[in-house]
């Protein structure tokens, strides 16, 4: 198999839709074997069927990333199926529609969001990094967000805090594992035209409030993020670790640029 990820094995969480599904297709097209993980098994299977239909090598795995047992099993599945793990993409995440400011957000929404978005990355690394060590090194990509670097125009305190945790965790793990040939980077997407965000921005007013801040004039696409993840997964980024890889249509630059 040829391609930028030839002979590599990748595990992608949240692979049933959005960024995860697009990245699965792209990684397979670039020569990787992919374990496509999602809490919705049917969605994971559908992603795998698309990848296989295009000639890719992929396997579906059901897992709740907030469960230690499930995360241990998904990594074990990668090693038992393909013999090793080279790329870990901790991409699964949620954005609860009831997430708001600190006054209106419930404790239940906070706990659920942190369990999936922050604890899920921790558990992915807890079980995935030892697999990368056994393989002699590799790449960890954690999906954070531009809101980890700045506030969001539409209040979403639990989501923003969870992505801030992902960013801080990424920096520490990058330092800890740098001498082990393991690089750890945070992918920070801007607002994307995905089902996750469109459900959260459930009115035209909310969409306009977010869109007006993006210099590119459009929401990002899942494929934009997949292309960024491909770079971070490939050997082209061997000297890149501990970064905030921001792919946001210029929104963070617009916030910090003086008028």
- Domain harbouring 72, CATH code: 3.40.50.720
Pull the structure tokens for residue 119: 């604890």
Per annotation, catalytic residue among 82, 127, 159, 231: 159
Q: How many domains does the chain have?
A: 1
| Domain carrying residue 237 | 9-256
In a domain, 148, yes or no: yes
Give 148 or 207, the one with higher predicted confidence.
148
Pull the structure tokens for residue 182: 């393991």
Separation of alpha carbons 96 and 113, rounded Å? 7
In a domain, 133, yes or no: yes
In a domain, 119, yes or no: yes
Q: Is 82 a catalytic residue?
A: no
89-123 per-position pLDDT tens digit: 999 999 999 999 999 999 999 999 999 999 999 99
In a domain, 112, yes or no: yes
CB-CB neighbours of 2 under 10 Å: 8
**Residue in this structure with the two tokens 């241990």, named with its chain if needed:** 72
Cβ atoms of 220 and 194 closer than 8 Å: no
In a domain, 4, yes or no: no
Residue 259, pLDDT > 60, answer no
* Poorest-pLDDT segment among 47-51, 127-131, 189-193: 189-193
In a domain, 221, yes or no: yes
């Amino acid at each position: 198999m040829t391609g930028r990820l030839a002979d590599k094995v990748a595990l992608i969480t949240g692979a049933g839709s959005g960024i995860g599904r697009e990245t699965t297709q792209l990684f397979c097209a670039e020569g990787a074997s992919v374990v496509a993980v999602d809490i919705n098994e049917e969605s994971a299977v559908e992603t795998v069927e698309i990848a296989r239909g295009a000639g890719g090598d992929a396997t579906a795995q059901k897992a709740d990333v907030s469960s230690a047992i499930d995360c241990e099993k998904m990594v074990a599945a990668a090693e038992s199926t393909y013999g090793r793990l080279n790329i870990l993409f901790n991409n699964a995440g949620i954005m609860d529609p009831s997430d708001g400011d600190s006054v209106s957000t419930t404790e239940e929404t906070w706990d659920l969001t942190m369990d999936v978005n922050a604890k899920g990355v921790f558990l992915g690394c807890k079980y995935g990094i030892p697999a990368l060590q056994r393989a002699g090194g590799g790449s960890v990509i954690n999906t954070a967000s531009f809101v980890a670097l700045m506030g969001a125009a539409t209040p979403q305190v639990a989501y923003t805090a969870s992505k801030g945790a992902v960013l801080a965790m990424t920096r520490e793990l990058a330092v800890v594992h740098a001498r082990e040939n393991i690089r750890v980077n945070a992918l920070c997407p801007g607002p994307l035209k995905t089902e996750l965000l469109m459900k959260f921005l459930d009115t035209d007013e909310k969409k306009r409030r977010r869109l007006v801040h993006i210099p590119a004039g459009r929401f990002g696409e899942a494929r934009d993020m997949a292309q960024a993840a491909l770079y971070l997964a490939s050997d082209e980024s061997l000297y890149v670790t501990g970064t905030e890889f921001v792919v946001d249509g210029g929104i963070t630059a617009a916030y910090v640029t003086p008028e």
